[in-house]
Structure 1
Amino acid sequence: MSHLTTIKVRGYHLDLYGHVNNARYLEFLEEARWGMLEEGGGVEWFTERSLALVISRIDIRYKRSATMGDVLEVKTALAQLNERDGLIRQQVLRQDNGKLVAEADVTFAVIHPEQAGAQLLQGELGERLALMQEVAKNV
């Protein structure tokens, strides 16, 4: 099951043309990823182990504009796990009509401050992430 985050478009989200500024979508997507992690109890688990999820790439595709007062739903799901990175898929949809506003593929890795490079996504860490991925497949 994908995680769902609801965001209402406010005036400070807008550009001079009255549309949500493109950079604000990155903030919406980040808010939704944090929500997914919090809902799954992941923030505490990662913090206890001094692990951090870091973003290495975001491929965002804008489909249509959102404007003042629109209510957006951000669907977030862990789509893929590789040896040292993973992929989170996100969609931003208008709540009133379900139309796709933007979509993104977000590549992440897990790091530890006392170890160089990305962690291997196996063992306890891999199992923890795989649980998130299994939940996403049940959508």
Structure 2
Amino acid sequence: MSTLIKVYGFHLDVFEHVNNARYLEFLEQARWDWIEQHLDFDWFKRNGLALVVANININYRLPASLGDELLIDCDVAEVGIKSGVLSQKIVRKKDGALISDALITFVLVDINTKKALTLTDQLREKLEYVRQSS
């Protein structure tokens, strides 16, 4: 599944390409789409849990410009005991050029205590299933 984002003027900086901070927003939007497709958001709410970004490593490969249509993919790269890693890529739709790629480390957090938890067996199994079916 890919998220499609069209680049508008408000995404640009003074150099007329997408501002670096906007890529983080694009990646986040794609992660929300990915969560809606693959995970049960209501399960997290019912159990007082949330997936929280702990680290992002992003590479900016090529600039994106006004009018570009960008496809953003999200895949499970790793599933650990206390964290997982998502791999995301942003490509320009018209030519498939890699614009940016990122590795996002996430943890499971108890929303009441704000403390990171061990990934539940149920969540780990679901993430492994999604990873293997990608």
- Smaller-chain TM-score bracket: over 0.9
Residue 22 (structure 1) aligns with = 20
Structure 2 letter corresponding to 1:63: R
Instruction: State the distance in 2 between where 1:42 and 1:72 align.
Output: 26
Post-superposition shift, 1:105?
A: 0.3
Residue 127 (structure 1) aligns with = 125
Could you say if the C-alpha distance between residues 117 and 38 of structure 1 is closer, same or farther in structure 2, counting changes exceeding 3 Å? same
Q: What SS class does the counterpart of residue 57 from structure 1 fall into?
A: strand
Residue 105 (structure 2) aligns with = 107
Q: What SS class does the counterpart of residue 106 from structure 1 fall into?
A: strand
Measured against aligned partners, the alpha-carbon deviations of 1:2-23 in whole angstroms (never above 9, x if no partner) come to: x310000000000001100000
1:96 aligns with 2:65: no
- Structure 1 or 2: more strand by fraction: 2
The residue correspondences of 1:1-139 to structure 2 (distance < 5 A) are: 3-115=1-113, 117-136=115-134
Measured against aligned partners, the alpha-carbon deviations of 1:90-128 in whole angstroms (never above 9, x if no partner) come to: 000000000000000000001112446322124222223
Measured against aligned partners, the alpha-carbon deviations of 1:37-87 in whole angstroms (never above 9, x if no partner) come to: 001242222122111010010000000000000000001101101110000
Structure 2, unaligned runs of 5 or more: none
Post-superposition shift, 1:135?
A: 2.7
Instruction: State the distance in 2 between where 1:135 and 1:54 align.
Output: 23
TM-score where L is the length of structure 1: 0.90
Could you say if the C-alpha distance between residues 125 and 37 of structure 1 is closer, same or farther in structure 2, counting changes exceeding 3 Å? same
Structure 1 letter corresponding to 2:11: H
> What RMSD, in angstroms, separates the aligned Cα atoms of the two structures?
1.4
- Give runs of ≥4 in structure 1 deviating > 4 Å: none
Q: What SS class does the counterpart of residue 64 from structure 2 fall into?
A: coil
| 125-134 or 66-75, larger mean C-alpha shift | 125-134
Instruction: State the distance in 2 between where 1:116 and 1:20 align.
Output: 33
Instruction: State the distance in 2 between where 1:80 and 1:135 align.
Output: 13
Identity of paired residues, percent?
38
Structure 1, unaligned runs of 5 or more: none
Structure 2 letter corresponding to 1:8: K
